[in-house]
Structure formats: C-alpha cells, structure tokens
Chains A and B, each alone.
Chain A
C-alpha cells in the first residue's frame, strides 16, 4: 500500500516537473514548479526528513515561486530561437545518460553510515533533542554562521543591483480580513516552529520563512509601504542575525577556548537565543530579497 503511494508520488513529482519545464507559458511553468515543490516536500516526509520538508514547502515552493512570479512580469521573454533538432537530440541523450548514471551511482554507493552513530552518541550533550537542530546549531554551527553570511552577501548584491520595487495594487476589501487573521497567525506559527524545533521538526529557517510570508502579505496588500526608514530598519534586523551569531562565536571562544563550543549545560539557552535572533533576521532578509531595495527613496510612488 505504502509502496503504491511512493510510486504514485514519485511519478507525480517527475510528471509535474516535466510539465513545468515543458511549457512555454511562464505562469503555467511557475505554477507547475510550485506544485512540484509541494509534492517534493511530501516525498521528503516519506524519506524521513520532515525538517527539510517544512523548509522545502515554505522556501523552495512558496518563496521561490513568489520570486519567480514577481520576475515573470518584468523579464522580457527571450527571442524564441529554437535550437536545431540534432542539438536537442544530443542534449536529450546526454541527459538520459546523466540520470541513469546518477541513479546507478547513488543506488550502488556503499552506505557507509558514519554520522548517525556519532550524532546519537553526542546528542545528549547538544542541549536539544532534534538531531537536525543539533547538527545545525551545535555540531556544525560554524557552517550555519557562514550560511547566514552568504544570505547577507546575496542581500548586498540585490541592494547594489537594485531591482524595481514591486508596486502593491489595490486588492479590494477582502484583503483586510485576510491580513488581519493571516499575519498574526504567521507570527504565531513562526514562534511555534522556533520553540518546537528543539525537540521535533522545526527551527529558525522554517520559522523565518513563515514570518517572511506574513511580512509579504503586509507589503503586497499595500498595508505597509517600504519607506526609506522601514528599509533601514529592515537592513538592521537583517544584519542583527549575523552580528549576534558572530558575537556568540567569539564569546564561546573566550569562554571555552573553541569557536561555537557552548559552555557545559547552557547549550540549550545559547541555541535558543541564537535561533530566536536568526528567525527575525532570516525573515527580514527574505522579505527584503523579495521586495528589492531601490537606491533612491520611493518619492515618486
């Protein structure tokens, strides 16, 4: 029974991806991509990775889909120069070989499971009981610190390039009750995911993405206008995550002699503090990445 479900789901993933990539209608293609993302999230749950599934649904399908849709109206379609049939056949052959080789290589790779034993052995001293959170914010916290730095670099790049700011449209009266319920619910769900991330699936990234969704409802509904003042506040919050994480790294160095090795027994508090700030910071960064940041103040709006 569950095997039939798996086959159906895997088929659905490949089919929707093919539909998304096969059509020339951009909006249809993005819609297909979002559906693919949601089905992939479901298959990640089947693969025993609910943390990743939450992130894929919120970020991979939701925010990326919104970003693509935003740009679909701005980018001019490329001149439809169809590549010659012989080229396409060769590329298709290479693609089929690539897929086959990849599947074969992954399937036959020796499953040297080195990490699970190590993780479960030290999980008790990590301060949390969700192994993914333990890896992200304790065992490999250094990676996560750099990841936040990468996000911030992308934000700076967007700021330099300065794409146009999306103009909110008048969406009518029914946006108000929607925002009145959905925006606080986003804050609630973000807090809930942040808190439960210590023991069950959830954490700062998923929480930040959901909070960013709430902020985008405010922006696109026309309730909050990105004034220069709001923009500089947003940048401050975005930087705050990186700053707090870096300060935490330095102070753990001072306290314990190792970067991001938390003092004995206090790991949970450290992790929770860093995660709470990261949630706000990730939300601000994702929101600003979506809205773009004009160099000029928005006088003419």
Chain B
C-alpha cells in the first residue's frame, strides 16, 4: 500500500511534467501542470494517514475528542495547495488567452517570441 500511494503521488507529478514537455497547446500544458500538482495532494495526505483513524473533525458538541484522528496539518497544507493550484491556473490561462491573440497560435512549437 505504501509503495502504491507514493508511487501514484510521484507518478502524477512526473506524468504532469511530461504532459507539459510534449504539449502542443498551452491550455493543455496548464491543465497538465494541475495534474502535476495533484501529486502533491496525494503525497501530503498519504503522509498524514493513519489506519482506523477518523477525520480530524469532532462534529458533535457533547463528545470530547478521545478517538484517534488522521493528521490535520497535512490537510491544512493540501487546502492551501489547492488554492494555489486554482489561482496559478487562472493566471496562466489568462496569459494563454492573450498569447493566442498576439501569436495566433498556442502551440509552443510555433511560439518564438523569446529565444537565445
């Protein structure tokens, strides 16, 4: 199980990066970036997991927390990470839209505004 979950985490990171490397469309590349980021969520939550533990939320007012819960810190980190993902995606999509207008293409192979 341990091998599988960490493998999936790094697999998502690498496959996302690979998607950017082979991308023929900037929007596609931006989406692949968010796939790469999904790997970080999986890794963080895997680190904090504990078998037979509950979510770190003690809903009912009366019960004092006595049971074991999974690590809430990695969840807080993952939450922040998700916000970052959404905002970066928004910015990069906005830039891609403008690139499409100026260059009439969003294929990285055909963009040559900067080089050398």
- A, B: real partners: no
B interface residues with partner A (beta carbon < 8 Å): none
